[in-house]
Amino acid sequence: MYELESGQQSPSVPVRLRTVLIIRWIAAAGQLATVLIVHYGLEYPLPLALCFLTVASLAASNIIITSYRSTRGRLADGEALALLGFDAIQLACLLYLNGGLANPFAILILAPVVVSATILSRRATITLTGLAILVITGLAYFHLPLPWAPNQLELPLPYVLGIWTALAVATVFISTYVWSVAEESRRMSEALAETQAALARAQRLAALDGLAAAAAHELGSPLATISIVAHELTREVAPDDPIAEDVRLLASQSERCRDILADIAAQPEDRGGAPFESLPISVFLQETIDEAGSRESETEVELADTCEGPEPQLPPRPEIRRGLGNLIQNAGQFAREQVTVAAHWDGRLVSVTVRDDGPGFPPSVLAAIGEPYISTRSGRGEHMGLGIFIAQTLLERSGATLQFRNRQGGEVAISWPRAILDTASR
């Protein structure tokens, strides 16, 4: 799979702000209804003004968020953590006014933790779990009494500590369990998405293989005619004629086209060569540059000074040569003056970096680079992105990993586990 250079991504799932706001409105409505039923229906005297103020703070926060943010947006990990932390503290304030842990609704302190474990990262869930334990610890010792009538019921301290222990253990256990299950589900979803993407890429490449074979068949006849005409012109044009060099170039390029079409039409078992044709990486890269290098810019091989161990041997696999060739050609098209093909190896990895001094990859397409029919550069005509797509797919078949990035120009880093190349070259 290709990779894009970026920071470490949070494993959280972005949640819609609209969803969170609806849940918070429901919570505010439920709190208000409970306070009214207990105070007026069951006739237990509650600190009504403070309870209303606490519930109003939750509603006010929703109104403020709605006025500054679009409800269609999604919350980042930190933003969702802040909202859930506020909800936990707001609920704690309401429980403080109504008996603390002796209130049956103290179990609701688990709700923000469960939500966090479902959609947020591990760090956010641990933070919210710690906040919940801190809150229930405070409520165990600091709270207004429950308004029992006619006499107030005071629960003994051991019983309150038992409630605290049950809530603390439940908070830790449920958050850990829910987060583990949710993380496994996220991994399965990501694996399924990657598998579907790989299958789609393979299907598109198979379609391109068929188109390439059809194109090779259709272009064979006109190319043969061009080759014949070019060779006839070579014989008829005098060596000192001003167009003699152009005619010779036309003939050589037509021969090259015929070789390429013949290679495309060949069966897989007819391509490549014997194991003894494996080449040192420096020689392999230079031959690839000679075949695919652009005439518009200078291309050179650069071997790193920090290489470890003997020079690796690249196997005679056509997908490696064609994949690297496509990347070198793409770099040559957009380089101002220089294309560098740098190689580095150690005991674990073999890396090849194709770097040009051109404008680089536009940020708008960097995330989608490697997909077919997407232009990967700007400023020099129209490009469908097929070259990058084909190169990436061919190199991934050989076990390579690709990174696309901008570093004073466009840069593509290709790396293989050394064990794969050593095995293939034997």
Q: pTM above the 0.85 mark?
A: no
Name beta bridge partners: 303.
343
Average confidence score pLDDT of the chain: 80
Q: pLDDT band at 1, cuts 50/70/90?
A: very low
Report pLDDT for 381.
Answer: 44
Q: Answer yes or no: is pLDDT of 86 > 80.
A: yes
Q: pLDDT band at 7, cuts 50/70/90?
A: very low
Q: Tell me the three state secondary structure of residue 344.
A: strand
Arithmetic mean of pLDDT, 313-325: 81
pLDDT per residue as tens digits for the range 31-56: 999 999 998 988 888 899 999 999 99
Q: Answer yes or no: is pLDDT of 274 > 50.
A: no
Cα dihedral across residues 96, 99, 100, 104: positive or negative: negative
Amino acid at 297: S
Q: Which two tokens stand for residue 29?
A: 């409505």
pLDDT per residue as tens digits for the range 352-386: 999 888 888 877 777 777 666 555 554 444 444 56
Look at the chain and count its residues: 426
Q: Answer yes or no: is pLDDT of 294 > 60.
A: no
Report pLDDT for 386.
Answer: 63
Report pLDDT for 264.
Answer: 61
Report pLDDT for 126.
Answer: 93
Domains of the chain: 3-196 (no CATH), 201-270 (1.10.287), 275-424 (3.30.565.10)
Q: pLDDT band at 276, cuts 50/70/90?
A: very low
Note the helical H segments in 237-316: 244-265, 281-292
pLDDT per residue as tens digits for the range 87-138: 999 999 999 999 888 888 999 999 999 988 888 888 999 999 999 999 999 9
pLDDT per residue as tens digits for the range 9-25: 445 566 788 888 898 99
Report pLDDT for 59.
Answer: 94
Report pLDDT for 55.
Answer: 94
Report pLDDT for 153.
Answer: 66
> Pairing between strand 313-314 and 15-16?
unpaired
Structure-token match 């070019």, residue found: 230
Comparing 147 with 415, which gets the higher pLDDT?
A: 415
**DSSP state at residue 1:** -
Q: Answer yes or no: is pLDDT of 206 > 50.
A: yes
Which of 1-15, 234-248, 250-264 is predicted least confidently? 1-15
DSSP string, 125-185: HHHHHHHHHHHHHHHHHS-PPP--SSS-----HHHHHHHHHHHHHHHHHHHHHHHHHHHHH
